Chain A
Amino acid sequence: MSDITKQSLTELIENIKNKKLSSTDVTKAFIDRSEKSEELNAYITNDFTSALDKAKKFDQKPNLNLKLPGIPMAVKDLFCTKDIKTTAGSKILNNFVPTYESTVTENIWNEGAILLGKLNCDEFAMGSSNETSFFGNVQSPIDKNLVPGGSSGGSASAVAGQLTPVTIGTDTGGSIRQPASFTGIVGLKPTYGSCSRYGIVAFASSLDQAGPMAQNVKDCALLHEVISSYDSKDSTSIDFKRNNYSKELTNNIKGKKIGIPKEYRVDGMPKEIEDLWQKGIQYVKDCGAETIDISLPNTSYALPTYYIVAPAEASSNLARYDGVKYGFRAKGENLIDMYEKTRSEGFGAEVQRRIMIGTYVLSSGYYDAYYLKAQKVRKLIKNDFDEAYKKVDAILTPSTPSSAFKIGEKTNDPVSMYLNDIFTVPVNLAGLPGISIPAGHDSKGYPLGLQIIGKAFDEQNILNIAYAMEEKINFKNKITDWWIK
């Protein structure tokens, strides 16, 4: 049964429902491959023994009416899991065991899925390469010494490397879509308010969203259907009618109007990305959709806005890590000294950098010049999208301005690292849904992704467009299993 891990989520469910495979067969296969894949460093914590027990228990009395019957699944270590260590990739939470479960993971287990373990990520989801994790960088299954992207790098690596059938990540400025693009998989960042933030370690609360990562669009739609729910425990959760995204999935996108924003043609963008974008435009036209040139005039201000808003919110959210109630504590001569040493030793360099930026822009005398200014520009960026959506149903762009880079290539230059998120950040600032789908390879053979941005709550539409394009693109991920001896 060596081919189990090659199957899509949809196929696995089909095979479990037809009794061709048991949950134990499937769980064993993914555990086995995960154990052979230590070099990827995709896991921070595994829960294999308990996963196998749960699978056996499922098989004794299988409930095949569930949406994820007996499906094993690893999740990003930013989701609180009851009684299972949750670190957010940080030393400061190295010994933290939540007493409660996040709503999105609860939704997943309620549909019959089984936790395999917790996946590596950039510390507090702050990073674009999974190099800021306290637990070391993650290797990409695409090539040795290549970053998988970030911050959901362990998640991307685990799906592309077939250590888990699907997974969930979180996306504050591109943390699902960028690693999905770098590893040749599908990643959806849902509309703000669609998936509950309850029990997710907070980074920037007005931007954070959980979302699915999968091998294909159908799997992604199914997992989204499971995790998206109204939740009274999250005050920004929105009560709207959610679709049966996988059932309602269609490749019929005839007559859809798709916007092509000229501002995404940035200086210095490699020709390969431009060519890919043109190919994408041709694909949607082949599917019977119409493309329309649009303008999102304030695009170039999105990244500077993000680097005020996100650190500001982070500095406030991370104030809770003081070494008192949970997490790491350093010894100090007095209370203040204990706080300062705990935070200095417990947070890594990137997290400290962002807390410092955030503290500065919120500090007395600078608030208006930076934070208020950023909130105003954020409004302009949202207005750009509102204006565009009077003319179009969705927007097509590249997911990233380049393919994946080497480990260590950008660690000494924060700004060049931040520029990776240039196409994904505007979507978070405007609270919109965006999906990245694999669309081709560059000359080095590394995957490249295209992004479809939708109107708020219009996930079904972008999933449909992605589904139609996926059929035309017929992407094959080149996984050589280089890390398996």
Chain B
Amino acid sequence: MSIDLKTIKHISKLARISVDEQRAEKLAGDLNSIFEFIEKLNELKTDNVEPLTSIAETTIKLRSDEVKSKNIREQIIKNSPQDNEDYFVVPKVIE
């Protein structure tokens, strides 16, 4: 199997990471060597194996849906890269 530049471009779109030509080529090389190493798993027959979906064999505990942190809007907004008092601001979406 080989991951080509077209695939790299496709994944980078899905991952929302812009990648230029030079970087795409480097990534293709890296990913190919990593996947070559990962392909080792194909040696194993796993048809009848149950996948491990949770390492902690416990059921998730339920709790009542209560507000515990109150009036923290200001604190939260403070970390925003561009603030406008009450909102998170993003580039214009609707023309």
- Please report A residues at the B interface, Cβ cutoff 8 Å: 95-97, 99-100, 192-193, 206-207, 232, 235-236, 238, 298, 300-301, 303-305, 307-308, 315, 319, 322-329, 332-341, 343-344, 347, 352-353, 355-357, 359-360, 363, 370, 372-380, 382, 414-415, 418, 430-431
What's the Cα separation between A348 and B50 when bound, in Å? Answer: 36
Minimal beta-carbon separation of B33 from chain A (angstroms): 6
In this assembly, does B41 line the interface, its C-beta being within 8 Å of a C-beta of chain A? yes
B91 lies within 8 A of A307 (CB):
no
Contact A356 B31 (CB under 8 A): yes
Asked if B34 and A357 make an inter-chain contact with CB atoms under 8 angstroms apart, the answer reads: yes
Contacts of A352 in B (CB 8 A): 17, 19, 27
Residues of A within 8 A of B7 (CB): 360
Cross-chain contact B58 with A238 (CB below 8 angstroms)? yes
Q: How far is A95 from B46 in the complex, measured between Cα atoms in Å?
A: 46
- Contact between A379 and B55, CB atoms less than 8 A apart: no
> By DSSP majority rule, is chain B's interface helix, strand, loop, or mixed?
loop
Whether B40 and A236, one on each chain, are in contact in the complex, defined by CB atoms closer than 8 angstroms, is: no
Give complex CA distance A266, B68 in Å: 51
Complex A-B: 17 CB contacts under 8 Å: A95-B81, A99-B79, A193-B58, A238-B56, A301-B43, A304-B37, A324-B80, A327-B79, A332-B91, A343-B15, A353-B27, A356-B12, A357-B34, A359-B15, A377-B46, A379-B49, A415-B34
The smallest beta-carbon distance between A92 and chain B, in angstroms, is 10
Most A Cβ at <10 Å: residue of B18, B49, B80, B88: B18
B67 within 8 A of partner (CB): no
| B41 lies within 8 A of A305 (CB) | yes
A-B interface pairs (CB < 8 A), number? 159
Within 8 A of A (CB), among B57-77: 58, 60-61, 63, 69, 72, 75-76
Q: How large is the interface on B (under 10, 10 to 19, 20 to 34, 35 or more residues)?
A: 35 or more
From 29 to 58 in chain B, residues with beta carbon under 8 angstroms from any chain A beta carbon are: 30-31, 33-34, 37-44, 46, 49-56, 58
From A300, A339, A359, A378, B40 is in contact (CB under 8 Å) with: A300
Please give the distance in Å from A242's CB to the nearest CB on chain B: 15
* Chain A, Cβ-Cβ closest to B26: A349
**A304-B38, A353-B31, A380-B46 in contact; A97/B78 too (CB < 8 A)?**
yes
The docked-state distance in angstroms from the alpha carbon of A418 to that of B7 is 24
Question: Closest A-chain residue to B12, C-beta based?
Answer: A356
Contact B38 A370 (CB under 8 A): yes
What would 20 more interface pairs be, CB under 8 Å, given A356-B27, A377-B41, A382-B52? A192-B55, A193-B58, A235-B61, A236-B56, A238-B56, A238-B58, A304-B40, A305-B41, A308-B38, A324-B88, A325-B79, A327-B81, A335-B90, A347-B17, A356-B15, A370-B38, A373-B46, A379-B49, A379-B52, A380-B44
B8 at the interface (CB under 8 A from A): yes
Q: A333-B91, A360-B11, A379-B50 are in contact. Are A373 and B17 (CB under 8 A)?
A: no
Q: Which B residues are CB-close (under 8 A) to A322?
A: 16
Q: Which residues of A contact B55 (CB under 8 A)?
A: 192-193, 206-207, 382, 430-431
Q: How many angstroms from the CA of A311 to the CA of B50 in the assembled complex?
A: 21
Closest residue to A372 on the B side, CB-wise? B51
Distance, CA A437 to CA B3, complexed state (A): 41
Cβ–Cβ < 8 Å partners of B79 in chain A:
95-97, 99, 325-327
Give chain B residues whose Cβ lies under 8 Å from the Cβ of A382. 52, 55
Distance in angstroms from B93 CB to nearest chain A CB is 5
Q: Does B2 sit within 8 A of A, measured CB to CB?
A: no
Instruction: Tell me whether A377 and B30 are in contact (CB under 8 A).
Output: no
